[in-house]
Structure 1
Amino acid sequence: MNDTPNWERQLVEKLAMAALVEQRRARRWKIFFRLVWLGIIGGLLATAFLRNEDKSAEALTGGGHTAVISLEGVIDSENNTAEKLSAALEDAYSDHGTRGIIIEANSPGGSPVLSGMAYDEIRRLKKQHPAIPVYVTVQEVCASGCYYIAAAADKIFVDKASIIGSIGVLSDGFGFTGLMDKLGVERRLKTAGENKAMGDPFSPTNPKQEAIRQQLLDDIHQQFIKAVKDGRGSRLKNDPQLFSGMVWIGEKGIPLGLADGLGSTRSVARDVIKAEKTVDYTQQDDLSSRVARKIGVEFAGGVRSLFNTRLF
């Protein structure tokens, strides 16, 4: 009986010691991870500092580089195209080592709104920095909304097989009224405003509303045409197919004034800008930004899908 208290005391001591060891282990891991994070942050800060030092040295010694910005994929809100392009241009222009800017284009087009915003931003920044030229080099394709943006550049360079042009606007969708009739499904839709359901795929087409939709497309098309004419000026040839939505390969687009010559990012940096060293200013999204924007795009997608207008 006298051994019982000792046994209990020993058990309590062992449990307390085990808890203490676990706390110490957890504390060591916490310190370890903090040191790792500090190391990562320190490395990033050091990289940024060294990059700024290199740029400052270039500015002082008269050296320089060509700023490269990628314009790739569909031009839409999910890709945040206009905002990222604008931010990249601001960074490139603010760098004293920048001798010229190349927008490396590889896009089939997309939103007319975002394309117009990017076009306007390029022209605005060009006026503020007239000594720094902006060129576009086309990789596989620069069509429709992408060409809308490219028209703001000082010059456009293509590969002989690149696809350019497609100066037009489209709106597409589907109609399910015939299928609904076959299935015996009745559409029950109430609206306040006679044109509120315009473009609804479950309702019959309305000639008046179709005329309104066509006028919207024509108005956007005229905005597109004006932007191209303002950007390209007298280089454009008087060809009836130029604004028809037609596309051309690069070597055929040059005589039409859609492009200025053959060239790649490397050759334009070396031979035109005379600054062979390139620095990539393309903006990259972090995970939180992509998730937040994805939620916003999906929230707006229901309304947008009823009248899906795009430049490709």
Structure 2
Amino acid sequence: MRRFLNRLLPKSWRSDAVTIPVIRLQGAIMSGGGQFRPSLSLATTAGVIEKAFAFKAPAVAIAINSPGGSPVQSRLIYKRIRDLAQEKNKRVLVFVEDVAASGGYMIAVAGDEIIADPSSIVGSIGVVSASFGFPELMKKIGVERRVHTAGQNKSILDPFKPEKKEDVERLKTLQLDIHQTFIDLVKERRGAKLKDNPDLFTGLFWTAGKGLDLGLIDGLGDMRSTLKQRFGAKTQLKLITAQRGLLSRFGLFGQKAPASAIAGAAASGLMDAAEERALWSRFGL
């Protein structure tokens, strides 16, 4: 109806504004996502991604601000974006905010173009696994660890036992496989844009200026200015958000959750927050 009425107006009165849907992907990438600490995963982002690509527009803009996290969830989000871009025949423009590193950069390469602020951090094309070991603590507090398994390799990398060389080698083999998947994906998407630099896939990260020289991104700038330059001065940006249900909107969930469940969820949220804090701190953020 609006398009029909627009045709009836004099040309000078018509609106030539283009509206571009915008998705914001903010935070660490983890499977699930809880009430106390929401995170990025396919489950938490699929709805807004589908909604953005259903929008009548020539392109979809994605703002990314993520230090990385789960390689599986990163690739699932990347693939959902690329599948919909091809299905809907839409161009994807990615805009990096503070950081798009590790899994955050994996999602960023879903864009047909990657644009970043000069001070943004990009890269970190690698795989990391971090944990803690408590064998000496167990001795000091007089606690005996008892683990019974069916299968000699069912309890590798037990944090309460001394680290074994063969367990570490097995973990590194897994990391190399995951790393190669990451490298192949970046090469497939960035192609000849990538410079022949020995540090490119070592896990190092750079500011956007150096990232541009290396071919990790396509340009420097911000979302609003870039979109207006591409689609006209009247271009409007529409932020796409997840639709909340009526019950969750008013906090009506039926019976009250047990105190133990709330405490468990809170503890899990604190652990997720600590893990996310560690991811951000790698980049001085």
TM-score, reference length from structure 1: 0.71
Matches within 5 A, 1:220-231: 220-231=178-189
User: Displacement of 1:221 after TM fit?
Assistant: 0.8
2:218 maps to: 260
Counterpart contact for 2:29–2:103, Cα < 8 Å = yes
Q: CA deviation at 1:183?
A: 3.5
Corresponding residue number in structure 1 for 2:36: none
> Secondary structure of the residue that 1:142 maps to in structure 2?
strand
Contact 2:100/2:122, CA 8 A, preserved across alignment:
yes
Counterpart residue identity of residue 92, structure 1: A
Which of 110, 119, 122 does residue 81 from structure 2 map onto? 122
In structure 1, the residue matched to 2:46 is 86
Contact 2:48–2:241 at 8 Å: present in 1 too? yes
1:178-217 aligned at under 5 Å gives the runs 178-217=136-175
Distance in 2 (alpha carbons) for counterparts of 1:59 and 1:148: 43
- 1:204 Cα shift? 1.7
> What are the ranges of 5 or more consecutive residues in structure 2 without an aligned counterpart?
9-14, 34-38
Shift of 1:254: 0.2
Amino acid at match of 1:69: I
**Following TM superposition, by how much is the alpha carbon of 1:115 offset from its aligned partner in structure 2, in angstroms?**
0.3
SS of match in other structure, 2:162: coil
Q: Percent identity?
A: 40
**1-side partners of 2:154 and 2:115: how far apart?**
44
- C-alpha change, 1:261 and 1:174, in structure 2 (3 Å) is same
Q: Structure 1 residues 169 and 191 mapped into 2: Cα distance closer, same or farther (>3 Å)?
A: same
148-157 or 170-179: bigger deviation: 170-179
Amino acid at match of 1:101: V
- Assess if the C-alpha contact under 8 Å between 1:123 and 1:152 holds in 2: yes
Counterpart of 1:21?
A: none
CA drift at 1:164: 0.7
Shift of residue 222, structure 1, vs aligned partner: 0.9
Q: Which residue of 2 aligns with 1:105?
A: 64
Name the CA distance, whole Å, in 1 between partners of 2:127 and 2:7: 44
2:37 is the counterpart of 1:72: no
Could you say which residue in structure 1 is the equivalent of 2:12?
none
The number of equivalent residue pairs is 249
Q: Say whether the 8 Å CA contact 2:211–2:217 is kept in structure 1.
A: yes
Check the 8 A contact 2:97/2:120 in 1, yes or no.
yes
SS in structure 2 opposite 1:170?
A: coil
Are the structure 2 counterparts of residues 73 and 80 from structure 1 closer, same or farther at C-alpha, using a change threshold of 3 Å? Answer: closer
The structure having more radius of gyration, on CA atoms, is 1
- Counterparts of 1:181 and 1:196, CA distance in 2: 23
- Let me know the Cα RMSD of the aligned residues: 3.3
SS of equivalent residue, structure 1 residue 226: helix
1:282 paired residue number: 241
Say whether 1:269 aligns with 2:227. Answer: yes
1:166-177 counterparts in 2 under 5 A? 166-177=124-135
Instruction: Report the Cα offset of residue 129 of structure 1.
Output: 2.4
Is contact 1:166-1:246 (8 Å) kept? Answer: yes
The SS at the match of 2:96 is strand
3-state DSSP class of the match of 2:214? coil
Unmatched runs of 5 consecutive residues or more in structure 1? 1-52
Asked whether the equivalents of residues 73 and 107 of structure 1 are also in contact (C-alpha less than 8 Å), the reply is yes
1:234 correspondence with 2:192: yes
CA distances 1:21-63 after superposition (whole Å, capped 9, x unpaired)? xxxxxxxxxxxxxxxxxxxxxxxxxxxxxxxx76997899765
CA distance in 1, matches of 2:7, 2:29: 34
Letter in 2 for 1:64: V
Distance of 1:84 and 1:196 partners within structure 2: 31
Q: Secondary structure at the match of 2:179?
A: helix
Deviations 1:142-194 (A, max 9, x none): 11111000111100001111011111111111111122233343222211111
TM-score by length of 2: 0.77
Task: Note the C-alpha offset of 1:84.
Answer: 4.0
Identify if the C-alpha distance between structure 1 residues 55 and 133 changes in structure 2 by more than 3 Å, giving closer, same or farther: farther
Residues 1:230 and 1:240: Cα distance change in structure 2 (over 3 Å):
same
Between stretches 82-91 and 149-158, larger displacement belongs to 82-91
Residue 86 of structure 1: how far off its partner (Å): 2.9
